[in-house]
């Protein structure tokens, strides 16, 4: 396995993805987590130091124990990671006279293992304001650009390699080859991490942790909680109890569809709880987005806790936590990460529940979770279900939530999803859905003046939802959706398409 130490780079998850594409397991940890004892226990074949936004001379710049260079483990430093390695080992880093961002032509001057099979020159992607001015003893400069004399360097005797550019991004045309060379030629890794091996090892681990105790799991029907439930079920069978809470904020016929898929096809032990009246009553008159989120989250926890206490002998709580959530909860500076907005899932346990966590997906990315679901034979419609927010339609009905407004949104949303699937775009976009705007406009329908709601359609492409771009859907598809929504949904006379990327916008409107 490979340990990636995260110095705050926007590309740290991309490094992990690249490593796993070669069927090599890796973990991303903050410097505060990666102590020498932790690394010794982990026994990685190699360490990658990621890039980061800081200068190594900043007062609070992230650092890791310099003893990592005495462990006899190969180290690859990328951008800030290279500068940290050079500075720590006795070289010098200084502010560049000319910063370097974007494409650059890399000239390989001294052949070494990391450049094996890479032709010179080759295109790379730079993003740095500091540069290395002198190398530590034992290091040799191996590559340069017009602006950066030490674009790469190595101490081959100790297996220390530094790249000032980012090999993990697509713009570095031979970056994959460089990462492959580090993994296999330098670290001696084997291609032995597959979904089949992950299923086997996870089942054995869950059995060892849970034993004959019981696990409860909040099941939403989304891919994360479904895959987690099936994996835990394979380990402990009927000792897993899933709790599905219907909050009245779901898509059209969603509960019925999920009840059929999850119970009949997957044989899961599920308790379906209809708490829709409780949610809708509490939300009456509430229009502030943050208040809605908190109300929905708090009521969910109360309902879930009520049902969980009815399961005798439950000592564990199963959750479909994914790796991006774990990474984002760690701060590269050692403290708690800043909360951007309150999360809509059960982020923590009520103190009086005293349950231990079982999170079998906590080291997987979303695409890996889908691959895991396919490996375990979960039906395609569940594995490829688009992400759906915990507060459901509560944050897609802008402003006050009422049953009539929810019904309008459900109908419009159903048409959008149906047409997106029919056109073959459902798997190509990350999410596609309707939003009901809290405004009415004048229209003409059948020679009659109308004054009705506007539906906004949102469709985005993304890999992990950290960034997203609006989907360039065919105009005839958009026209077909608009025509159907306005003709078939009572109370709607206008439709618009959201062409905002993330950032600056978010995927959801609230």
Q: For 439-467, write each residue's pLDDT tens digit.
A: 999 988 777 888 999 999 999 998 767 67
Which is the catalytic residue, given 26, 45, 54, 168? Answer: 168
Residue 337's pLDDT is 34
DSSP label of 136: P
Q: Kindly report the backbone phi and psi dihedral angles of residue 173, in degrees, each rounded to the nearest multiple of 5, phi listed first.
A: -60, -30
Residue 350's pLDDT is 54
Distance, in Å, from the CA atom of 278 to the CA atom of 6, rounded to the nearest integer, reads: 43
Distance, in Å, from the CA atom of 187 to the CA atom of 24, rounded to the nearest integer, reads: 11
- Say whether 112 is catalytic: no
Q: How far is the CA of 113 from the CAs of 9, 18, 110, 179, 365, in angstroms?
A: 25, 18, 10, 11, 30
Residue 336's pLDDT is 33
Enclosing H/E stretch for 299: helix 289-308
Residue 98's pLDDT is 63
Which is the catalytic residue, given 128, 166, 233, 344? Answer: 166
Helices (H) and strands (E) in the chain, counts: 14, 18
Residue 342's pLDDT is 39
- Say whether 79 is catalytic: yes
* Residue numbers in the chain where pLDDT is lower than 50: 335-349
Residue 364's pLDDT is 87
Asked if residues 332 and 8 have their Cβ atoms less than 8 Å apart, the reply is: yes
Work out the widest C-alpha separation in the chain, in whole angstroms: 84
Distance, in Å, from the CA atom of 223 to the CA atom of 278, rounded to the nearest integer, reads: 26
Q: Is 396 left (phi over 0), alpha (psi -120 to 50) or beta?
A: alpha
Which is the catalytic residue, given 26, 79, 124, 242? Answer: 79
Distance, in Å, from the CA atom of 447 to the CA atom of 322, rounded to the nearest integer, reads: 53
Residue 19's pLDDT is 94
- Say whether 26 is catalytic: no
Q: Would you mind telling me the total number of residues written for the chain in this entry?
A: 510
Q: Kindly report the backbone phi and psi dihedral angles of residue 483, in degrees, each rounded to the nearest multiple of 5, phi listed first.
A: -60, -45
Helices (H), 27-72: 36-42
């Amino acid at each position: 396995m490979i340990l990636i130490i995260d110095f705050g780079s926007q590309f740290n998850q991309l490094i992990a993805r690249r490593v796993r594409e070669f069927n090599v397991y890796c973990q991303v940890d903050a410097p505060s987590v990666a102590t020498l004892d932790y690394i010794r226990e982990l026994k990685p074949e190699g360490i990658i130091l990621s890039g980061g936004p800081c200068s190594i001379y900043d007062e609070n710049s992230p650092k890791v124990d310099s003893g990592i260079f005495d462990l006899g483990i190969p180290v690859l430093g990328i951008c800030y990671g290279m500068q940290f390695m050079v500075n720590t080992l006795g070289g010098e880093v200084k502010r560049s006279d000319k910063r370097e961002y974007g494409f650059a032509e890399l000239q390989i001057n001294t052949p070494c293992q990391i450049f094996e099979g890479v032709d010179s020159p080759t295109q790379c992607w730079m993003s740095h304001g500091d540069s290395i001015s002198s190398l530590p003893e034992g290091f040799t400069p191996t590559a340069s650009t017009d602006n950066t004399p030490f674009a790469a360097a190595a101490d081959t005797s100790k297996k220390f390699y530094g790249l000032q550019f980012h090999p993990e991004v697509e713009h570095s045309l031979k970056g994959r080859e460089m990462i492959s060379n580090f993994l296999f030629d330098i670290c001696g890794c084997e291609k032995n991490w597959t979904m089949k091996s992950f299923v086997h090892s996870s089942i054995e681990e869950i059995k060892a942790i849970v034993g004959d105790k019981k696990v409860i799991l909040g099941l939403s029907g989304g891919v994360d909680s479904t895959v987690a439930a099936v994996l835990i079920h394979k380990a402990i069978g009927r000792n897993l109890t899933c709790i599905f809470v219907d909050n009245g904020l779901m898509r059209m016929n969603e509960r019925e569809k999920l009840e059929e898929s999850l119970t009949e096809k997957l044989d899961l032990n599920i308790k379906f709880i209809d708490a829709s009246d409780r949610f809708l009553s509490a939300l009456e008159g509430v229009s502030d987005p943050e208040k809605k989120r908190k109300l929905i989250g708090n009521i969910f926890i109360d309902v879930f806790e009520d049902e969980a206490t009815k399961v005798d002998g439950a000592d564990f709580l199963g959750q479909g936590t994914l790796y991006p959530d774990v990474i984002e909860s760690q701060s590269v500076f050692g403290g708690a990460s800043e909360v951007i907005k309150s999360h809509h899932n059960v982020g923590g346990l009520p103190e009086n529940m005293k349950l231990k966590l079982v999170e079998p997906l906590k080291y997987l990315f979303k695409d890996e979770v889908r691959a895991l679901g396919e490996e375990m034979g979960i039906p395609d419609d569940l594995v490829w279900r688009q992400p759906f927010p915990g507060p459901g339609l509560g944050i897609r009905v802008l402003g006050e939530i009422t049953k009539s407004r929810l019904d309008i949104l459900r109908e419009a949303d159903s048409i959008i999803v149906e047409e997106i699937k029919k056109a073959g775009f459902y798997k190509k976009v990350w999410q596609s859905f309707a939003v009901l705007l809290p405004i009415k406009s004048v229209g003409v329908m059948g020679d009659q003046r109308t004054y009705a709601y506007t539906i906004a359609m949102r469709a985005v492409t993304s890999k992990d939802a950290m960034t997203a771009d609006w989907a360039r859907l065919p105009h005839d598809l958009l026209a077909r959706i608009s025509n159907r929504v306005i003709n078939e949904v009572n109370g709607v006379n206008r439709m618009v398409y959201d062409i905002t990327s993330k950032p600056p916008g978010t995927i959801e409107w609230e």
